[in-house]
């Protein structure tokens, strides 16, 4: 594992010291369409997204839906959730699914699905569960919106009105996302002075993130129409796979016998390159490239990453779920019983570069969400430190070697081009093709969005009842609502157990902690 992590640290260091100009986009998430498979995959991704309630990566969530003879099983996994957080999220997911499934045929709403009672209930409860993200996006939007309005006001001016409500903000962002103005924002994010374009690219991102919650509700309601059996209230259960236990800092472990001053200088790029290939000419060439990058502080970046106390790799949710499925059905004569035979694991974020390599090398044929090229040093696979012999160990070694080969290829390419891909937002904020319009029309739309923010009390901390479903079905339109009370501090990660909710009897099933 020594050479695996030093190559990975070199690659992440290269990407930190040298960025490309411009923002590379995450692949567009599938939208509901006439294709049943696209509609289904969009639903899986969006249901995972609404569970990803906090920034920072801990709550990144993956989902697979299985069809058993007597029930449907929604199996989730998150990067780092403890038992309490898993229970809270399980309640939230079960409540969403139960509410959708327990509603009878819905009357046609004059404004379409987006103005229906069901839509409003789903959107409100999803926003409440994701309150920390919504507050962050609202603050970020407000911070950059003023600069963008000032940019437009060089030629034009306009007044703002004063609506309120968090839901209104998300709806306003959704309208703006679908308008020609958003294309203009994208244009401004790509061109112009760097200090100006930064504000526009950030504005583009925050608008896209807020609007994504409307798309999530649309995906859920679209799946209800196309696949009503997904929401049969007596026939589904919700299960979370326990998160992995973080590894200790692998670089510190490998250097445990060295004094602190030597640990910092023990892994310069010059030495790492010599262990990445046996080709002497190649070593000389890439050492030269690395030397040129020292002016950007390459070795400092490597040393900083190696010494981080929080450099504790975890199993990403997609791989956690993939390996759980493979282990769970290892003794079965049939394959994993995916719903509709769609061998797909959805995720709240596009799959990272290393997870994509892992899935590509895996012999299960299970697909994950299309990837972005971001690489994270805090990445590992299940049982990576297990040195026991046997077929499973040999397969693990093969997988690690395959991913390591891709890491080295990427690192050599980064050095060869002397420029690293700019780290982009994981979240998709794709728009339609840009169109051009006057500053006045852009300003009018931004002022309208600004008025939504002015009515949003970002600092006020709202308290909502935490409803726990038990026994029989919830009664009444509002009884399904489950809203988590969020603390200001991040939850501790203890690897916890798993709680499952199943049908009206609400049985609890523990899959137990998994330690890797």
Lowest mean pLDDT segment, chosen from 82-96, 377-391, 460-474? 460-474
| Summary mean pLDDT of the chain | 76
Percent of the chain with pLDDT strictly greater than 90: 43
The closest of 75, 136, 110, 62 to 509, measured between CA atoms, is 75
Transcribe 293-344 into DSSP letters: GGGGTHHHHHHHHHT-TT---EE-HHHHHHHHHHHHTTT-SS---BGGG--E
pLDDT at 446 over 50: yes
Lowest mean pLDDT segment, chosen from 27-41, 45-59, 408-422, 491-505? 491-505
21 vs 418, residue with greater confidence: 418
155 by Cβ neighbours in 10 Å (0-12 / 13-18 / 19+) ranks as exposed
270 touches 276 (CB < 8 A): no
3-state DSSP percent of the chain in helix, strand and coil, to 5: 50, 5, 45
Lowest mean pLDDT segment, chosen from 130-139, 248-257, 494-503, 506-515? 494-503
pLDDT at 219 over 90: yes
Average the pLDDT over 219-233 and give the result: 92
Cα-Cα end-to-end distance for the chain: 14
pLDDT of 226 reads 93
pLDDT band at 287; cut points 50, 70, 90: very high
Rg (CA), the chain: 24
Q: How far apart are CA 220 and CA 479, in angstroms?
A: 19
Structure-token pair, residue 48? 């995972």
Tens of pLDDT, residue by residue over 159-180, are 443 334 456 666 666 666 666 6
Model-level pTM?
Answer: 0.76
272 touches 10 (CB < 8 A): yes
pLDDT band at 396; cut points 50, 70, 90: confident
236 touches 73 (CB < 8 A): yes
**CB neighbours of residue 104 within 10 Å:** 5
Tens of pLDDT, residue by residue over 146-160, are 776 666 665 444 444
Average the pLDDT over 403-409 and give the result: 96
243 touches 81 (CB < 8 A): yes
Residue 75 per-residue DSSP state: E
94 touches 469 (CB < 8 A): yes
Instruction: Look at the alpha carbons of 129, 132, 135, 141 in this order and tell me if their dihedral is positive or negative.
Output: negative
447 vs 280, residue with greater confidence: 280
pLDDT of 186 reads 63
pLDDT of 476 reads 35
Q: How far apart are CA 43 and CA 38, in angstroms?
A: 8
Percent of the chain with pLDDT strictly greater than 70: 62
Average the pLDDT over 316-331 and give the result: 92
């Amino acid at each position: 594992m020594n050479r695996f992590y030093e190559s990975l640290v070199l690659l992440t260091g290269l990407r930190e010291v040298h960025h490309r100009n411009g923002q590379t986009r995450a692949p567009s998430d599938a939208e509901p369409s006439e294709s049943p498979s696209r509609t289904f995959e969009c639903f899986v991704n969006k249901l995972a997204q609404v569970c990803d309630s906090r920034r920072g990566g801990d709550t990144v969530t993956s989902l697979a839906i299985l069809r058993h003879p007597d029930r449907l099983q929604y199996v989730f996994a998150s990067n780092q959730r403890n038992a309490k957080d898993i229970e809270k999220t399980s309640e939230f997911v079960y409540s969403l699914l139960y509410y959708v499934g327990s509603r009878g045929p819905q009357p046609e709403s004059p404004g379409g699905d987006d103005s229906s009672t069901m839509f409003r209930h789903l959107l409100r409860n999803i926003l409440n569960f994701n309150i920390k993200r919504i507050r962050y996006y609202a603050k970020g939007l407000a911070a950059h919106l003023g600069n963008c309005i000032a940019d437009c006001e060089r030629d034009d001016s306009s007044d703002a009105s004063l609506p309120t409500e968090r839901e209104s903000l998300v709806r306003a962002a959704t309208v703006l996302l679908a308008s020609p103005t958003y294309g203009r924002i994208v244009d401004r994010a790509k061109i112009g002075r760097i200090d100006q374009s930064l504000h526009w690219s950030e504005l583009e991102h925050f608008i896209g993130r807020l609007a994504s919650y409307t798309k999530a509700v649309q995906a859920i309601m679209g799946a209800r129409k196309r696949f009503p059996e997904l929401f049969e209230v007596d026939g589904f259960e919700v299960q979370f796979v326990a998160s992995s236990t973080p590894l200790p800092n692998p670089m510190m472990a490998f250097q445990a016998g060295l004094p602190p001053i030597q640990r910092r200088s023990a892994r310069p790029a010059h030495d790492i390159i010599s262990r990445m290939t046996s080709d002497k000419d190649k070593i000389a060439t890439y050492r030269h490239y690395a030397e040129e990058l020292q002016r950007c502080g390459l070795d400092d970046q490597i040393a900083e990453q190696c010494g981080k106390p929080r450099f504790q790799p975890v199993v990403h949710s997609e791989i956690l779920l993939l390996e759980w499925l493979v282990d769970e059905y290892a003794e079965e004569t049939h394959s994993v019983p995916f719903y509709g035979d769609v061998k797909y694991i959805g995720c709240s974020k596009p799959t990272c570069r290393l997870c994509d390599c892992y899935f590509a090398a895996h012999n299960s044929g299970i697909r994950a969400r299309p990837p972005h090229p971001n690489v994270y040093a805090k990445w590992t696979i299940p049982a990576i430190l297990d040195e026991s012999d046997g077929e499973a160990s040999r397969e693990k070694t093969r997988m690690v070697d395959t991913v390591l080969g891709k890491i080295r290829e990427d690192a050599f390419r980064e050095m060869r081009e002397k420029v690293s891909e700019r780290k982009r937002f994981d979240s998709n904020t794709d728009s339609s093709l840009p169109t051009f319009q006057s500053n006045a029309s852009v300003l009018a739309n931004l002022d309208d969005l600004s008025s939504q923010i002015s009515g949003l009390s970002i600092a006020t901390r709202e308290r909502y009842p935490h409803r726990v479903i038990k026994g029989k079905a919830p009664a009444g339109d509002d009884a399904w609502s489950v809203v988590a009370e969020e603390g200001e501090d991040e939850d501790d990660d203890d690897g916890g157990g798993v709680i499952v909710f199943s049908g009206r009897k609400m049985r609890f099933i523990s899959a137990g902690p998994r330690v890797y």
